[in-house]
Amino acid sequence: MQNSHYISSEVLQLDTLQEIISQNKQIALSEEAKTAIQKCREYLDAKMESQNAPIYGINTGFGSLCNVIISNKNLSQLQENLVKSHACGTGEEVPSEIVKIMLLLKIQSLSYGHSGVQLLTVQRLVDFYNNDILPVIFNQGSLGASGDLAPLAHLSLPLIGEGEVYFEGKKIHSSIVLQKFNWQPIVLQSKEGLALLNGTQFMSSYGIYILLKAIKYSYFSDVISAISLEGFDGRIEPFNELIHYIRPHKGQIVTAKRMTYLLEDSEIIAQEKTHVQDPYSFRCIPQVHGASKDTIDYVKRVFKTEINSVTDNPNIFIGEDIIISGGNFHGQPLALALDFLAIALSELGSISERRTYQLISGLRGLPAFLVSNAGLNSGFMIPQYTAASIASQNKQLATPASVDSIVSSNGQEDHVSMGANAATKCLRIMENLERILAIELMNASQAIEFRRPLKSSDFIEIFLKSYREEVPFVKEDRILHYDIQKSIAFLNSFMIDDEIDN
């Protein structure tokens, strides 16, 4: 298959995942993956025929019902009942981009041959992915501990002809799509329902989606702050590498180098300054942005490990002839990472809003609220209000979810990660950061016009020329909501060539 990615045991890199998503590549199971899946299923079938001893989730109930033995004749019904009974998600629908990543990551995890699923089941998930058949999933219902049970149940319902999907722009019952493709509902075999529902693919998919955007907006934080620095007539000295090599945090060094590059040959930065220092929101850009970069790097490592892991339960080891019930579905690594990422993104928004505030304050020769005839015109007074409101909401959302836990399943599941809640609120913080940075860009681009005829660097001038085609200079008051929306769209339209994998 041309333009396809083959699912295999090779490490799935983040840049590969980005390529699959951005280029809308098809996926296929490698022969290696097919063999691993089939051998594991054959092993489990033989094991079930040769012994009657209880094996959790295969011939027993689930959770606190783990001691209830199920007869072999009811094993398929047991798995179907599991999927149906656990499909009790609620809240908002999960964005389609994240649902598609969920499908991909569930396929990846099942392909290693430790889950006992049928090859037909995994191939059907591949077919869903390749044909953009996206199950309707809801963002509330997972404790992030026994896997993302409720969301993954909704992901799995269409396999058995239940639940709804989005297909060709419409929400329809999955049975209609099965008929269209002449597919029969999957008859789940022993363990299959549990293999589908146990796993961290809800948390992981949110995390990957946010992480890829975070890498992009970490870069934009640097670019936009450089424009703000020029608009504020800031100094270049805080970015001198000598400072940063005596406190050599990686992100700090990277940020300082980038700022120096972005400001290279700028007439504005080179002009003589009448002020000795800049406020922290300008002077400490390397230290603050750099700390968030280091956090993003840590989160990359966590999620790279997770998307290349088996996270259902129990796990089957053919070579050792053993089936082990453990806890690889527990989302604690992801919960902590998502909370850390949320804090790091919130801080990028916090310092951005402070720069916006400085720009509208009538300092350093800039007009109050960055507009001529202030008083008659309010100019950029209220976008800063908006940024301040959003930044404060981010601070509230950044309260960690992972420090919480609540007992479920009659005490059997007595410690949970709350990683799903960490994931959904981290996405809100990421979306808020886009808005805060868009507002800073509006203000920075306005401020820099008051430094004319001096020019900034070639990079910044080209960037601003492109931006001005979408959002013109504000000469007198207009409805700035539209400018904010256009600024967000402008930033989202950019593809950046920044390092994803270390």
Residues 6 or more apart whose Cβ sits within 8 Å of residue 258: 219, 222
Residues 6 or more apart whose Cβ sits within 8 Å of residue 70: 59, 60, 61, 78
Going by their DSSP bridges, the two strands 26-29 and 134-135 should be labelled as unpaired
d(CA 356, CA 380): 9
Residue with tokens 């946010």: 210
202 and 417 in contact (C-beta within 8 Å)?
no
342 and 397 in contact (C-beta within 8 Å)?
yes
Task: Identify the active-site residue in 43, 56, 129, 467.
Answer: 56
As a whole number of angstroms, the longest Cα–Cα distance in the chain is 87
d(CA 190, CA 258): 55
Residue 41: CB atoms within 10 A of its CB come to 24
195 and 143 in contact (C-beta within 8 Å)?
no
Q: Say whether 135 sits in a helix, a strand or coil.
A: strand
Q: Could you say which DSSP state residue 234 is in?
A: -
Residue 493: CB atoms within 10 A of its CB come to 9
Residue with tokens 């109930």: 61
- Residue 184 corresponds to which tokens in the numbers above? 């029969």
196 and 152 in contact (C-beta within 8 Å)?
yes
Strands (DSSP E) contained in 168-294 are 170-173
Helix axes 332-359, 201-231, angle to 10 degrees: 20
Going by their DSSP bridges, the two strands 322-324 and 315-317 should be labelled as antiparallel
| Helix H or strand E encompassing 167 | strand 164-167
For residue 131, with 0-12 CB atoms within 10 Å meaning exposed, 13-18 middle and 19 or more buried, which class applies?
middle
d(CA 288, CA 308): 31
43 is catalytic: no
Q: Say whether 68 sits in a helix, a strand or coil.
A: coil
Provide the β-strand partners of residue 90. Answer: 140
Strands (DSSP E) contained in 176-321 are 315-317
Residues with a known catalytic role: 56
